[in-house]
Structure 1
Amino acid sequence: MPSKLPLTLACWDYDRTNALLTGRVRAEGIELNYLPMMMPEPAFRMLRHGEFDIAEMSLSWYARTVTQTSRPFIAIPVFPSRMFRHSCVYVNADSGIKEPEDLKGKRVGCPEYQMTAAVWLKGILADRHGVPVNSVGYLTGGLEQSGRTETPMNLPADIRIEAIGPDQTLSAMLASGEIDALYTAHAPSSFTGDGEGPVRRLWSDPIAVEQHYFAETGIFPIMHVIVIRQDVYEAHRWVARSLMKAFEEARDIARAELFESTALKTMLPWQPLWAEQSRALLGGQFWPYGLRENEKVLDTFLRYSFEQGLSERRLAPEELFAPETLDVAVI
Structure 2
Amino acid sequence: MQQPEIRLGLRDWDHLTPLLSGAVPTPGWSLRLDLRKVTPDVLTESVLDGGETSFSRYAQARAAGDDRLVGLPAFVMRGFRHRCVLVRRDSPFTSLLELKDARIGLTGWPDSGNTWTRALLRGAGVDLAGIQWRVGPLVEGESGKDRLGSRPLPANVSAMADGTSLQEELAAGRLDAVFTPFMPTEMFTAHSRFRHLLADHRAAERDYLAATGFVPGIHLVTLKRETVRAHPWLPAAVLDALDKSKRHWVERRRLLADTTPWLLDELLDTARRFDGGDWMPYGEDANAPMVRAFCEELHAQGVWPEPVDPSVLFPSHPPAPAPAL
TM-score by length of 1: 0.88
Query: What residue number does 1:145 align with?
Result: 140
Deviations 1:225-284 (A, max 9, x none): 000012112222211011111111111111212322xxx355212322321111112222
Match of 1:300 among 257, 275, 293: 293
Aligned pairs for 1:166-315 (under 5 A) are 166-189=162-185, 191=187, 194=190, 198-260=193-255, 264-284=256-276, 285-315=278-308
Query: What residue number does 1:11 align with?
Result: 10
In structure 2, relative to structure 1, the CA distance for the partners of 1:152 and 1:12 (3 Å cut) is closer
Match of 2:119 among 116, 120, 123: 123
Deviations 1:275-312 (A, max 9, x none): 11111122223221101011111111111111112223
1:323 aligns with 2:323: no
Offset of 1:89 from its aligned partner?
0.1
1:46 aligns with 2:42: yes
Deviations 1:79-107 (A, max 9, x none): 11111111110113455423211111111
In structure 2, relative to structure 1, the CA distance for the partners of 1:271 and 1:132 (3 Å cut) is same
Deviations 1:103-149 (A, max 9, x none): 1111100010111111001012202x111222211101111024745
1:81 aligns with 2:77: yes
Report if the CA contact (8 A) 2:136-2:165 is conserved. yes
Secondary structure at 2:74's aligned position in 1?
strand
Secondary structure at 1:17's aligned position in 2?
helix
- Paired AA for residue 269 in structure 2: Q
Match of 1:108 among 88, 93, 104: 104
Percent identical across equivalent pairs? 24
- Paired AA for residue 224 in structure 1: H
2:288 & 2:204 partners in 1: Cα distance?
A: 23
Segment of structure 1 superposing worse, 163-172 or 271-280:
271-280
Offset of 1:28 from its aligned partner?
4.2
- Paired AA for residue 7 in structure 2: T
Report if the CA contact (8 A) 1:291-1:318 is conserved. no
In structure 2, relative to structure 1, the CA distance for the partners of 1:172 and 1:50 (3 Å cut) is farther
2:180 & 2:224 partners in 1: Cα distance?
A: 28
- Paired AA for residue 169 in structure 2: M
2:267 & 2:318 partners in 1: Cα distance?
A: 29
Offset of 1:155 from its aligned partner?
4.3
In structure 2, relative to structure 1, the CA distance for the partners of 1:239 and 1:85 (3 Å cut) is same
Report if the CA contact (8 A) 1:144-1:189 is conserved. no
Aligned pairs for 1:28-39 (under 5 A) are 28-39=27-38
Query: Unmatched 5+ residue regions in structure 1?
Result: 327-331
Report if the CA contact (8 A) 2:63-2:309 is conserved. no
1:189 & 1:174 partners in 2: Cα distance?
A: 15
Offset of 1:61 from its aligned partner?
1.9
Report if the CA contact (8 A) 1:171-1:189 is conserved. no
Query: What residue number does 1:329 align with?
Result: none
Query: What residue number does 2:67 align with?
Result: 71
In structure 2, relative to structure 1, the CA distance for the partners of 1:24 and 1:325 (3 Å cut) is farther
In structure 2, relative to structure 1, the CA distance for the partners of 1:190 and 1:272 (3 Å cut) is closer
Secondary structure at 2:34's aligned position in 1?
strand
Secondary structure at 1:33's aligned position in 2?
strand
2:192 & 2:28 partners in 1: Cα distance?
A: 55
1:154 aligns with 2:151: yes
1:297 & 1:266 partners in 2: Cα distance?
A: 32
Report if the CA contact (8 A) 2:43-2:224 is conserved. no
Query: Unmatched 5+ residue regions in structure 2?
Result: 320-325
Query: What residue number does 2:322 align with?
Result: none
Query: What residue number does 2:25 align with?
Result: 26
Report if the CA contact (8 A) 1:9-1:52 is conserved. yes
